[in-house]
């Protein structure tokens, strides 16, 4: 689990990324392609071409971290290609990591009342 504070900025790198890249390669992509500082404390999320794998790069002030998540079923909901980066909230990232559509989260199952 990523200990994300509610005020942390989360950025989605639009398009797909080569998932063979590691921490240094993704941090370099943040710096060169997105024009942002990978050491500023923001989270940067990248999605693979198939859509079932994401990587998150984050510098917490002490060191760089790389988190990976793969969905067994389905794909991560990802924004269309309109720019280089899209900002979302930490709550929306939590929905995304659970495989929920972060753009319009809603319950898909409601248990019936007992009795």
Half-sphere exposure in the Cβ direction for 56 (13 Å, CA): 22
Give the contacts of 103 (CB within 8 A, at least 6 positions apart).
Answer: 77, 92
pLDDT computed for residue 70 by the predictor: 93
pTM of the model: 0.83
Query: What residues does 43 pair with on adjacent strands?
Result: 10, 58
- Architecture per CATH, 10-97: 2-Layer Sandwich (3.30)
Give me the residue spans of the domains in the chain.
Answer: 10-97
Half-sphere exposure in the Cβ direction for 16 (13 Å, CA): 12
Q: What is the pLDDT along the chain (115 residues), one digit of tens a residue?
A: 566 767 789 999 998 899 999 999 999 999 998 889 999 999 999 999 999 999 999 998 899 999 999 998 888 888 876 778 899 988 889 888 888 888 877 655 566 666 5
pLDDT computed for residue 2 by the predictor: 63
pLDDT computed for residue 26 by the predictor: 95
pLDDT computed for residue 56 by the predictor: 95
């Amino acid at each position: 689990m990523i200990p994300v504070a509610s005020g942390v900025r989360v950025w989605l790198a639009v398009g797909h990324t080569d998932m063979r890249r590691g921490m240094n390669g993704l941090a370099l992509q943040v710096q060169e392609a997105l024009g942002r500082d990978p050491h500023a404390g923001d989270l940067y999320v990248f999605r693979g071409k198939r859509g079932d794998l994401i990587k998150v790069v984050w510098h917490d002030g002490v060191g760089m971290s790389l988190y990976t998540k793969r969905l067994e079923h389905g794909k991560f909901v990802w924004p269309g290609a309109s720019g280089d980066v899209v900002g979302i909230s930490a709550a929306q990232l939590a929905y995304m990591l659970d495989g929920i559509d972060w753009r319009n989260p809603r319950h898909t199952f409601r248990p019936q009342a007992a009795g």
